[in-house]
Amino acid sequence: MVDANETRSEKTLIQFGIEIISCLAVLAMLASALSISAQQNPSLSGDYAGTLGPLHLRLHLKDNGGGKVTGTLDSPDRGAIGIHCTDFHIDGQSVSFAVPAVQGTWKGTIASDGRLTGTWDQGHTLTLNFVRSVAVQTEKAF
């Protein structure tokens, strides 16, 4: 014969287990959504180095929060330092910005390793990739 109290206890325990599993599933989905969101809008803040043909370039970006990015571009070979970059557009992994002083634009993507891979357009299109540069940060410290 089955005791009614034992059956109620089993049902309560089963219901409690289902609620715990449901909560864990919701937390897992939330964590996954946050991870995807972070991957879609990685921080661009930092210093980058690239070359455009024989010219060495340095890109300095700052993420001011809320999707606002500011930056400057240096061309040390030409003695040009602090050229303002404008019109930053970030959509997931895609990034673009303009450099009005030289009538140029850069469009590309953020690679999983943090590189910025893309093209420079200043009347004609050339490949221009940037890598995060520790050396640039060290130079700025002096």
**Measured CA distances, 31 to 80, 84, 126 (Å):** 44, 37, 40
pLDDT in tens, 21-32: 654 444 455 444
How many structural domains compose the chain?
A: 2
Which of 72, 69, 42 is closest to 58 using CA atoms? Answer: 72
The string of pLDDT tens digits covering residues 59-99 is: 999 998 777 899 999 999 999 999 999 999 999 899 999 99
110 in the same domain as 76: yes
Q: Does residue 122 share a domain with residue 65?
A: yes
Query: Does 73 lie in the same domain as 36?
Result: no
pTM of the predicted model as reported, rounded to 2 decimal places: 0.66
Same domain, 60 and 17: no
Handedness of CA 124, 54, 46, 100 (dihedral sign): negative
Please indicate whether residue 69 or residue 42 has the higher confidence score (pLDDT).
Answer: 69
Same domain, 11 and 62: no
* 96: containing domain: 46-141
Both 94 and 70 in one domain: the answer is yes
- As given in the structure block, the two tokens for residue 55 are 């010219």
Q: Which residue has the higher pLDDT, 98 or 18?
A: 98
Statement to judge: residues 25 and 61 lie in one domain: no
For residue 115, what are the CA distances in angstroms to 43, 52, 118? Answer: 12, 15, 10
Distance CA 1, CA 9 (A): 16
